[in-house]
Chain A
Amino acid sequence: MISFSNVSKTFPLGNAALTDVSFEIEDNEFVFLVGTSGAGKTTILKLIMRDMIPTEGTITVNDMDIASRSFRSVEKLRRSIGVVFQDFKVLPEQNVFENVAVSLQVLGTPRDEIKKKVREVLDLVGLKHKEKVFPVQLSAGELQRVAIARAVCGDRKIILADEPTGNLDPKTTWDIMKIFKKLEGKKTFVIATHNSDIVNSLKKRVLVLKDGRLVKDSRKGGYDI
């Protein structure tokens, strides 16, 4: 479970990224974060993975109070979270297999198990035939699928995706969403997006942000900013 309670984040120069935001996301829930650029979507994702610390309020992830400055289990927290970045963060000098395997290597997974699990997840995202290919030879959609494979690999319970379809054409966007749909109910998804088609079509829970404030939380919502 992810819980935000009266969370605010103000940057050192005084600009507020989030103001008094509270919500709860249950295990295995599928949630969209929507809002204009600068509304605070990425800030929420960074706070969940403790890439940032809130100025005020409490954040609980898997029963861990991660907002505290004395929180020391950042590695444990991040091992339960898979992240899909808008810019993919795929390492250019490593092939597809190696890019996905790193997710398991950091967990100390044995080599044989890594081979098996990476191939399973590459099959899931439709890249099994490209495991030895280097990123420079892949399309944007394929790169995003590599990033998704890396995020979902290793039994990570929470998947955070920051504009996962931001640079992709409509067909590839739907291919990516199909992958997420395959895993729905098995993991918690928090997806920050601008894509109104997807949000309106999937009818999932939507958290609407405006100027750093949570203005709407609808269970089967649409893209309404």
Chain B
Amino acid sequence: MNNLFTTIRRTPYQSLATFLSLFLTLFLALAIFFLMSFLYGLLGYVESRPQVTIYFQTTTSEQDILQVKRELESSGKVSSVTYVSKNDAYSIYRNLNKKDPLLMEMISPDILPASLEVFALKPAYLPEISDFLNRQTGKDEVTYQKNIVDRLLALTSAVRKSALIFFAFLVLSTTVILMTITHFKVALKKDEIELQRLLGASGGYVRKPFLKEALFFGFTTAGVVFGLFTGILYYLQTALGGYFGGMSKLAVSIYTYSLPVWPLNVEIGLVMFGFTALFGLSITIIATYLATQKYIR
């Protein structure tokens, strides 16, 4: 460890350049990673909301509404249909506006519409279900979330593609920068390496101090980036919480595992740190390995 710090102290500018370039890359990579996780969580959230909702006129009877529900359920194209009666709607309204007595006084169950919240088995059935609901005589309004889901899907896909390209560029540029810096460091130790090789040092022995330094910078920078990024997120959490107030929880499904993304929690923190550390270590080790390759042949 002493040798490691001596080397860093003896090459301060190269060490600073390594830290700064790695810091920028890891920070951007972590921001992209969190943004993608958040977007996938948001997509999952929107997809879990009722995809088509029909609001009935206040004069429509409950029998007629339940008849529509039965027809939908027997169509084989919906996964579930939830009936929200006038009283249910009133309860939801009261719950949402319990802090505002004035709004509570103005509303009674009679003026709120009953509704059916429909979840389709496949997105392809959505237009058909929407058409069917629009043909019902007692309908007041049909809201259809396909556009929102489609736009979010398109956005997620575009962000994913852009992120991949940007990420590849980041990896390439950082690897080249780190390789160049390591080349400088190797050049400074050229005589020492030449002597070691003449004394029978193995390739691993020659590489060891450079790899140790790579591990140190990879892990330390990942720690600093994670600490700073988490600090920023916690600082913004209140503001973001207000903005995404309706969404109590966002999660990303990975096979059978559901990773909670929002609000901030230990699990996403561990995953973010793991991602940053793994990425930081991989990039520094690969760059060091390639930079030292020439000198151990």
Binding site for B on A (CB under 8 A): 49, 51, 74-81, 83, 89, 91, 93, 102-103, 105-107, 150
Q: How far is the CA of A75 from the CA of B194 in the complex (A)?
A: 13
- Which of B192, B194, B200 makes the CB contact (< 8 A) with A77? B200
Contact A91 B191 (CB under 8 A): yes
Can you name 13 extra interface pairs (CB under 8 A) apart from A51-B198, A76-B200, A103-B199? Answer: A74-B200, A75-B200, A75-B202, A78-B197, A78-B200, A89-B191, A89-B198, A91-B195, A106-B196, A106-B199, A106-B200, A106-B201, A107-B200
A-B pairs with lowest CB-CB distance, top 10: A78-B200, A79-B200, A106-B201, A106-B199, A75-B200, A75-B202, A89-B195, A103-B199, A91-B192, A106-B200
Most interface-central of B197, B198, B200 (chain A CB within 10 A): B200
Binding site for A on B (CB under 8 A): 10, 191-192, 194-202, 205
Q: How far is the CA of A73 from the CA of B235 in the complex (A)?
A: 59
Which B-chain residue is minimally distant from A93 (CB atoms)? B10
Contact A106 B205 (CB under 8 A): yes
Q: Which residues of chain B are within 8 angstroms of A75 by Cβ–Cβ distance?
A: 200-202
Contact A102 B196 (CB under 8 A): yes
Q: Which residues of chain B are within 8 angstroms of A74 by Cβ–Cβ distance?
A: 200
Q: Which residues of chain B are within 8 angstroms of A106 by Cβ–Cβ distance?
A: 196, 199-202, 205
Least CB distance from A60 to B in Å reads: 18
Q: Which residues of chain B are within 8 angstroms of A83 by Cβ–Cβ distance?
A: 198-199
Least CB distance from B72 to A in Å reads: 75
Q: Which residues of chain B are within 8 angstroms of A150 by Cβ–Cβ distance?
A: 199
Which B-chain residue is minimally distant from A76 (CB atoms)? B200
Least CB distance from B125 to A in Å reads: 66
21 A-B interface contacts by CB (under 8 A): A75-B200, A75-B202, A77-B200, A78-B197, A78-B200, A79-B200, A83-B198, A83-B199, A89-B191, A89-B194, A89-B198, A91-B191, A91-B192, A91-B195, A102-B199, A103-B199, A105-B205, A106-B200, A106-B201, A107-B200, A150-B199
Which B-chain residue is minimally distant from A92 (CB atoms)? B191
Contact B200 A102 (CB under 8 A): no
Q: How far is the CA of A102 from the CA of B189 in the complex (A)?
A: 14
Most interface-central of B10, B198, B202 (chain A CB within 10 A): B198
Q: How far is the CA of A103 from the CA of B200 in the complex (A)?
A: 9
Q: How far is the CA of A201 from the CA of B291 in the complex (A)?
A: 50
Q: How far is the CA of A49 from the CA of B192 in the complex (A)?
A: 17
Least CB distance from A95 to B in Å reads: 13
Contact A78 B198 (CB under 8 A): yes
Q: How far is the CA of A94 from the CA of B205 in the complex (A)?
A: 18
Q: Which residues of chain B are within 8 angstroms of A105 by Cβ–Cβ distance?
A: 205
Q: How far is the CA of A106 from the CA of B200 in the complex (A)?
A: 7
Q: How far is the CA of A42 from the CA of B198 in the complex (A)?
A: 15
Q: Which residues of chain A are within 8 angstroms of B205 by Cβ–Cβ distance?
A: 105-106
Q: How far is the CA of A106 from the CA of B192 in the complex (A)?
A: 12
Q: How far is the CA of A188 from the CA of B195 in the complex (A)?
A: 21
Most interface-central of A75, A77, A150 (chain B CB within 10 A): A75
Least CB distance from A73 to B in Å reads: 10
Q: Which residues of chain A are within 8 angstroms of B191 by Cβ–Cβ distance?
A: 89, 91
Least CB distance from B294 to A in Å reads: 16
Q: How far is the CA of A84 from the CA of B201 in the complex (A)?
A: 17
Q: Which residues of chain B are within 8 angstroms of A91 by Cβ–Cβ distance?
A: 191-192, 195
Q: Which residues of chain B are within 8 angstroms of A89 by Cβ–Cβ distance?
A: 191, 194-195, 198
Which A-chain residue is minimally distant from B196 (CB atoms)? A106
Q: How far is the CA of A107 from the CA of B200 in the complex (A)?
A: 8
Most interface-central of B10, B196, B201 (chain A CB within 10 A): B201
Q: Which residues of chain A are within 8 angstroms of B201 by Cβ–Cβ distance?
A: 75, 106
Q: How far is the CA of A49 from the CA of B197 in the complex (A)?
A: 11
Most interface-central of B10, B194, B199, B201 (chain A CB within 10 A): B199
Q: Which residues of chain B are within 8 angstroms of A102 by Cβ–Cβ distance?
A: 192, 195-196, 199
Q: Which residues of chain B are within 8 angstroms of A107 by Cβ–Cβ distance?
A: 200
Least CB distance from B1 to A in Å reads: 14
Q: How far is the CA of A107 from the CA of B205 in the complex (A)?
A: 9
